[in-house]
């Protein structure tokens, strides 16, 4: 028979000692969140009457050009370093050939110029993919039911050059075509935009969490089929990391994991493995889920801050989040 173990009269470690007061807790805090870690995604519309709240994203609005200027001023006032522009284009301007995507006068490019005129020091990020201008809602050209890669990359290059010309600081290719980063980097170098950075949507998964975004940009009813032939399967970790490695080799300055919260393992692994600026996108569905529950009284508003802190703990340098202005206000 084993003797009874000796029970010490006190715990070997009292971890609660350093959790006792806010000052003590501050001393052992391991992770910091500041406005500098935020990128604020905004939707801008050229359609009269389409401005205002997006029903599946309560609290988030489609903005007019004037609204975007005010958002830029607000971002700068809150020390948010960057805004990311997503265009909501006129349905009549969506075509199969997507010319509007590289039109200097499309709403995205007008928004870039408007922000740069208003708050030149604010970094402007863009999205590169054909979906806001594609009649069928896909990120690439559809030919005989297939999303064609190389023809799409040629169009993305034109789109990127128009955004660079409009004054974008950071380009965000979100299309997931093969070879786009190398093609964009080469075009930027050769056409006089060697200063323009690329934040690649590298580990972008084929996710159901993008639903509200597709409402926001008016692509919802339009998407024919799904995006599984170009976005990564949600179960594929090695493939996602291979995307990150590939995009870095092709010239990306920074990489992104998207969606965010269900993919924190990928964030951590990408950061540890590549040690490059790593971002996550807390996407529309994550926002809708949290904000919806907050508005119903099912969750407290503290989840906002907690979710963003978790990205930082997982190794992200920054997060694209629709909560950016609200969180920056709380941090101020
Ligand atoms: C489109 C794009 C999407 C998002 C950013 N760029 C949607 C998609 O891939 O279908 C999603 C962002 C969000 O859900 O907040 N290329």
Distance between Cα 131 and ligand 1 center (Å): 9
Strand 254-258 relative to strand 278-282, pairing = parallel
Nearest to 127 by CA among 180, 173, 170: 173
CA distances from 152 to 45, 54, 98, 215 (A): 24, 29, 10, 23
Catalytic residue (choose from 69, 94, 158, 204): 204
The answer on pLDDT for 122 being more than 90 is: yes
Atom of ligand 1 nearest to the CA of 231: 9
Q: How many helices (H) and strands (E) in the chain? A: 11, 12
**213 Cβ inside 6 Å of ligand 1:** yes
Which residue's CA lies nearest to atom 8 of ligand 1?
210
User: Residue 283: is the preceding peptide bond cis (ω within 30°)?
Assistant: no
**177 Cβ inside 6 Å of ligand 1:** no
Which residue's CA lies nearest to atom 2 of ligand 1?
174
pLDDT at 2: 62
The reply to whether 258 belongs to the active site is yes
The answer on pLDDT for 203 being more than 70 is: yes
Which residue's CA lies nearest to atom 6 of ligand 1?
174
The answer on pLDDT for 4 being more than 80 is: no
Distance between Cα 210 and ligand 1 center (Å): 6
| CB crowding 14-28: b at 16 or more within 10 Å, else e | eeeeeeeeeeeeeee
Distance between Cα 139 and ligand 1 center (Å): 9
Determine phi and psi for 250, rounding to 5 degrees.
-85, -5
The answer on pLDDT for 6 being more than 80 is: no
Tens of pLDDT along 275-284? 999 999 999 9
Band of residue 25 on the pLDDT scale cut at 50, 70, 90: very high
Q: Maximum Cα–Cα distance for the chain, whole Å? A: 85
- Give the whole-angstrom CA distance, residue 331 versus residue 162: 36
Distance between Cα 300 and ligand 1 center (Å): 27
Which residue's CA lies nearest to atom 5 of ligand 1?
174
Contacts of 303 (CB under 8 A, 6+ apart): 290, 293, 294
**210 Cβ inside 6 Å of ligand 1:** yes
User: For helices 107-118 and 65-77, what crossing angle results, to 10°?
Assistant: 40
- Give the whole-angstrom CA distance, residue 101 versus residue 120: 24
Tens of pLDDT along 208-227? 999 999 989 888 778 889 99
pLDDT at 218: 84
Q: Which of residues 1 and 227 earns the better pLDDT score?
A: 227
Nearest to 217 by CA among 39, 51, 86, 100: 86
Domains of the chain: residue spans and CATH? 34-331 (3.20.20.70)
- Of 139, 224, 279, 285, the residue with max ligand 1 atoms within 8 A of its CB, to mutate for a pocket test, comes to 139
Strand 170-171 relative to strand 146-147, pairing = unpaired
**322 Cβ inside 6 Å of ligand 1:** no
The reply to whether 158 belongs to the active site is no
- Give the whole-angstrom CA distance, residue 267 versus residue 256: 8
Tens of pLDDT along 52-87? 999 999 999 999 999 999 999 999 999 999 999 999
Quick check: 319 and 311 in contact, CB under 8 A?
yes
Task: Report the pLDDT averaged over residues 124-132.
Answer: 97
- Looking up tokens 């399967």 gives 233
- Give the whole-angstrom CA distance, residue 25 versus residue 235: 37
Contacts of 208 (CB under 8 A, 6+ apart): 285
pLDDT at 1: 56
**139 Cβ inside 6 Å of ligand 1:** yes
The answer on pLDDT for 179 being more than 70 is: yes
**284 Cβ inside 6 Å of ligand 1:** yes
Atom of ligand 1 nearest to the CA of 127: 6
Q: Which residues pair with 38 in a beta bridge?
A: 319
Determine phi and psi for 324, rounding to 5 degrees.
-50, -55
Distance between Cα 207 and ligand 1 center (Å): 9
ipTM over 0.90 threshold: yes
Nearest to 51 by CA among 141, 138, 111: 111
- Give the whole-angstrom CA distance, residue 322 versus residue 282: 8
Task: Report the pLDDT averaged over residues 268-276.
Answer: 98
What is the pLDDT of the chain when averaged over all its residues? 96
- Of 59, 174, 177, the residue with max ligand 1 atoms within 8 A of its CB, to mutate for a pocket test, comes to 174
The answer on pLDDT for 95 being more than 90 is: yes
Band of residue 5 on the pLDDT scale cut at 50, 70, 90: confident
**174 Cβ inside 6 Å of ligand 1:** yes
Atom of ligand 1 nearest to the CA of 283: 15
pLDDT at 3: 63
- Give the whole-angstrom CA distance, residue 115 versus residue 69: 6
Enter the tokens of residue 121: 């020091």
Band of residue 7 on the pLDDT scale cut at 50, 70, 90: confident
- Give the whole-angstrom CA distance, residue 176 versus residue 156: 11
Q: C-alpha angle with apex 17: 16 to 22, nearest 5 degrees?
A: 90
Q: Which helix (H) or strand (E) holds 187?
A: helix 180-190
């Amino acid at each position: 028979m084993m003797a009874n173990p000796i029970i010490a009269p006190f715990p070997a470690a009292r971890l609660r000692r350093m959790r006792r007061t806010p000052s003590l807790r501050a001393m052992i805090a391991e992770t910091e969140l500041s406005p500098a870690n935020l990128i604020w995604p905004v939707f801008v519309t050229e359609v009269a009457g389409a401005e205002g709240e997006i029903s599946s994203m309560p609290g988030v609005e489609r903005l007019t050009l004037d609204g975007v200027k005010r958002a830029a001023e607000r971002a700068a006032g809150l020390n948010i370093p960057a805004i990311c522009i997503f265009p909501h284009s006129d349905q009549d301007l969506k075509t199969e050939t997507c010319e509007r995507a590289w039109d200097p006068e499309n709403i995205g490019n007008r928004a870039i110029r408007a922000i740069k005129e208003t708050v030149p020091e604010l970094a402007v990020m863009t999205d590169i993919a054909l979906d806001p201008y594609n009649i069928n809602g896909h990120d690439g050209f559809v030919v005989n039911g297939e999303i064609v890669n190389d023809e799409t990359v040629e169009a993305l290059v034109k789109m990127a050059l128009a955004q660079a010309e409009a004054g974008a600081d950071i380009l965000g290719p979100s299309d997931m075509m093969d070879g786009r980063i190398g093609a964009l980097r080469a075009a930027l170098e050769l056409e006089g935009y060697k200063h323009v950075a690329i934040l690649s949507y590298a580990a972008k998964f084929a996710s159901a969490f993008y639903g509200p975004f597709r409402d926001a940009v008016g692509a919802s009813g339009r998407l024919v089929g799904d995006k599984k032939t170009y976005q990564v399967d949600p179960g594929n970790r090695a493939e996602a990391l291979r995307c990150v490695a590939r995009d870095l080799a092709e010239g990306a300055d920074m990489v992104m994991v998207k969606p965010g919260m269900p993919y924190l393992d990928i964030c951590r692994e990408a950061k540890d493995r590549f040690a490059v600026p790593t971002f996550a996108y807390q996407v529309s569905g994550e926002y809708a889920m949290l904000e919806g529950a907050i508005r119903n009284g099912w969750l407290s508003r503290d989840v906002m801050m907690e979710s963003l802190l978790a990205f930082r703990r997982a190794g992200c340098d920054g997060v694209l989040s629709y909560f950016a202005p609200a969180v920056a206000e709380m941090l101020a």
